[in-house]
């Protein structure tokens, strides 16, 4: 896994739930069929509430057209990111769409554990509210060694809480791979 991840940010609000991350009606696709797996990326963050709650100003689409990859590698969220059902498909959908890192004020525990256990993406916790300091489309650099992010669009920097042992699990590709490579099983 790369130690610095650079890409466009997609900024969300508080209480983004798993139905917004991957709507329940799209859970019918097989995760073992490569063509069907792409559907998870295509439908990631496709559930736009009528009032636009939690979504970037202007309802910026996460996926454009028939694509399954997003232009956004980094998601900046508010508090309680990934609330709702215990859907392990949520971090998977973001990974398939090309997301490498989610940075939020806090997570629903199940989303955080699913992200780590499956090795889907890096779930960072920010030391301050960032979804009012970073805009959708800003170019962000996340340094996994120093636990810092830099907004290259406006030259601001922010400290993140350390990932601790979580990084090794995500880097290994998930909990089972980590256990295999570390001799636990």
Interatomic CA distance for residues 144 and 105, integer angstroms: 17
Q: φ, ψ for residue 165 (rounded to 5)? A: -70, -15
Model confidence at 87, pLDDT cuts 50, 70, 90, reads: confident
Of 88, 97, 96, nearest in space to 115 by CA: 88
Interatomic CA distance for residues 83 and 87, integer angstroms: 10
Q: What is the CATH number of the domain that holds 57?
A: 3.20.19.10
Domain total in the chain:
1
pLDDT of residue 56: 60
Residue 109 host element (H or E)? helix 109-117
161 close to 124: Cβ distance less than 8 angstroms: yes
pLDDT tens for 124-152 read: 999 999 999 999 999 999 999 999 999 99
Three-state secondary-structure class, residue 21: helix
Q: Residue 129 sits in which domain range?
A: 4-181
Look up residue 185 and give its two tokens. 């099983």
Interatomic CA distance for residues 99 and 90, integer angstroms: 11
Measured in residues, the chain has a length of 185
pLDDT tens for 97-118 read: 999 999 999 999 999 999 999 9
Interatomic CA distance for residues 178 and 185, integer angstroms: 9
Provide the whole-model pTM.
Answer: 0.93
pLDDT tens for 23-58 read: 889 999 999 999 999 999 999 998 766 556 666 665
Model confidence at 180, pLDDT cuts 50, 70, 90, reads: very high
Query: Is the pLDDT confidence value at 94 over 70?
Result: yes
pLDDT of residue 1: 79
């Amino acid at each position: 896994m790369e130690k610095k991840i650079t890409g466009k940010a997609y900024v969300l609000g508080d209480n983004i739930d798993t139905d917004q991350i991957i709507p329940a009606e799209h859970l019918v696709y097989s995760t073992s069929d490569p063509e069907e797996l792409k559907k998870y990326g295509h439908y990631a963050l496709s559930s736009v509430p009528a009032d636009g709650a939690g979504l970037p100003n202007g309802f910026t689409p996460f996926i454009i057209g028939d694509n399954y990859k997003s232009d956004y590698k980094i998601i900046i969220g508010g508090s309680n990111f990934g609330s709702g059902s215990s859907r392990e498909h949520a971090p998977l959908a973001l990974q398939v769409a090309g997301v490498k890192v989610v940075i939020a004020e806090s997570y629903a525990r199940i989303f955080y554990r699913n992200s780590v256990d499956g090795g889907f993406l890096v779930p960072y916790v920010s030391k301050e509210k960032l979804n009012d300091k970073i805009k959708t489309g800003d170019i962000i650099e996340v340094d996994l060694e120093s636990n810092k992010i830099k907004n290259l669009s406006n030259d601001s920097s922010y400290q993140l809480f350390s990932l601790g042992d979580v990084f090794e699990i995500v880097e290994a590709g998930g909990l089972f791979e980590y256990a295999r490579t570390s001799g636990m099983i």
